[in-house]
Amino acid sequence: MEKKFISIGHEELAYLDEGQGPVVVMVHGNMSSSVHFEPLITRIKDKYRCIAVDLRGFGDSSYNNRFDTLEELADDVNAFTEALGLDSYYLVGWSNGGGVSLKLCAKYPDKVKKFFDIEGAGLKGYPVYKKENYKSTGEPYASKEEMAADPLQVAPALACFEKGDAATMTAIWDATIYTVNMPTREQNDLWMSETLKQRNLVDLDWALANLNMSDEYTPYGKGDGSIKNIKCPVMLTMGEKDIIVPDYMVLDNYNALGSLATLLPYENCGHSPMVDCPDRLAEDVCKFFS
C-alpha cells in the first residue's frame, strides 16, 4: 500500500486508497495513522473501496495549523472527501477517530450513510485532569501548556515523540492496547514508525478533553448538544478487555444515539479489534454496511 496526497487548502493530507466498490472512509485514532487500518483494509478491499486518511499532524499529513477541537479535524475530513469528489460514503472510526467521526456525522449528517465505531471515544470526551502524586484531582487544566506537563497521561508520551523512542512507545502499546493479542514483529515495526510521526499530541489531548456533544456539563464545560444532529445508523463495538475506552463511554454513546445505535460486544477483545479479532471485525463491518 502506498500513500497518496491531496490538498484541502490549509493542509495536505496523506491517505491510502485501496479496493473497489462502495466507498468506506476510515478515520484513525490517537498515536496512529491510516496504516493501522491495514488488517481491516486487506480483508474488505475486495468488496469496498477503502480510503483511510492521515489526520492533520499525524502520519505523513501536514501540520501547518494547530487545532483546539475535534470539530476542526472533522472539517478536515469533510474537505478531504469533497476534494475526492465523494458525495456520500460509509464511515469507520477507531478510538479518537470515533470522536472525530461523531462530530463529522453531526455536522454533515447527509453525507454519512452508516458509521461503524470501533472502540470509539465517548461523546463527553476523554478526561485529562490535574494530578497530585499521580492521582487525578478531577480539576480541568486551564491551558494546553498546563496539560502538556501532565505527568501521567501526556508528558511521558510527549517525551517519546520528541526522542523518537520506539522501545518505550512499544511498551506503552503492549501494556494498554494489546491486552489480548500482539501484532507480528513486522506489523509492529511498521505501525510504530507511523505512530512516531505524530506532532500534535497536546492539541489532540486538549481537543479530546474538551469534547462534549451532550447537553450536560463536564469539568471542561457544557456540551453543545450536537449528538442530536446525527441521522445515520451507528454500530458501536465494546471490547471486553479494552482498558483505554471504558464501557461507560460506549454506553453513553449508545444511550445518547437511541434507536440509531446498535451495541456490538466483543468478548476477549481489547482496544484494537484489528489485532485481537480482525476476521470478525471485517465480517461485522461488511454485514453492517451491506
Residue range 6-41, pLDDT digits in tens = 999 999 999 999 999 999 999 999 999 999 999 999
The pLDDT of residue 171 is 96
User: Is 229 within 8 Å of 112 (Cβ atoms)?
Assistant: no
The pLDDT of residue 196 is 98
Backbone φ, ψ for residue 198 (5° rounding): -65, 135
| Confidence label for 157 from pLDDT (cuts 50, 70 and 90) | very high
| Confidence label for 153 from pLDDT (cuts 50, 70 and 90) | very high
Q: pLDDT (tens digit, 9 = 90+) per residue, 243-287?
A: 999 999 999 999 999 999 999 999 999 999 999 999 999 999 999
- Boundaries of every domain in the chain: 4-125+212-289
The pLDDT of residue 53 is 98
Q: Distance between CA 290 and CA 286 in Å, rounded?
A: 6
Write 108-111 long-range contacts (CB < 8 A, 24+): 108/74, 108/78, 109/229, 109/230, 109/231, 109/232, 110/231, 111/78, 111/81, 111/86, 111/87
Grid cell of 101 as nine digits: 467521526
The pLDDT of residue 238 is 98
Range 74-97 average pLDDT = 98
Name the burial class of residue 182, with classes exposed (0-12), middle (13-18) and buried (19+) by CB atoms within 10 angstroms of its CB. middle
User: Coil, strand, or helix at residue 168?
Assistant: helix
**CA proximity to 189, closest of 205, 204, 173:** 173
Q: pLDDT (tens digit, 9 = 90+) per residue, 187-239?
A: 999 999 999 999 999 999 999 999 999 999 999 999 999 999 999 999 999 99
Q: What is the dihedral of CA 9, 33, 14, 143, to 10 degrees?
A: 20
Q: pLDDT (tens digit, 9 = 90+) per residue, 127-139?
A: 999 999 999 999 9
The pLDDT of residue 45 is 98
Instruction: Give pTM, 2 decimals.
Output: 0.97
Q: Distance between CA 48 and CA 18 in Å, rounded?
A: 8
Q: Which CATH number fits domain 4-125+212-289: 3.10.440.10, 1.10.150.120, 3.30.420.40, 3.40.50.1820?
A: 3.40.50.1820
